[in-house]
Structure 1
């Protein structure tokens, strides 16, 4: 034990690592580790997505800008954009950028590990004002 309780993790905005958690960014994903809510405008997570997962579009319409970085083994991704189906192979380090509100109905052909970075648009506005 590391001396931290689940209660401490919840109040600090982090997630306990010894219990399976759902992603704060995409609730259908299994969260392996992450920043929780403590970064104030940014959430960073390492997640697993199951192959051919059916996703409720209403539950995952992004309220934040999202950068998805594929980690580990190559996998094929199918998605829909503007009513057209698309597909591509992704390898370790390949990235996807989705702006606020975009839902592309992603479906991986294998279990994948993803690094997710969600950025609140108001956080970007705040930074832009300070520059």
Structure 2
């Protein structure tokens, strides 16, 4: 993580180690006042320490949102891939099947694959991906 630019030019640049300390302490579920006290003991002013704690919370939330968006997108891609494979398998079974049940099985697989592709598209739209 890069050092943050200050809107208030009177504040000194906050060292990266302060952000690292805040991140590690938040990972240990330390409370915000404890983190602020530790940062003050490391030489930051109270305002800078509060800013680091607040900013580290925002960075964590952004990273978590990116991670979950990626997981949702991966799930949709996998689901679409499985549906496409099922559609192709249904067509192959229907074309190569001899007898009444082979063709029926192929048609059923095609219908299920088309419905799953449609439902995946609907989920994709509603989740905003």
The normalised TM-score by structure 2 is 0.22
Instruction: From the two aligned structures, give the one with the greater helix fraction.
Output: 2
Larger of the two Rg values belongs to structure: 2
Bigger relative contact order (CA 8 A; separation at least 6): 1
TM-score of the superposed pair, with normalisation by structure 1: 0.21
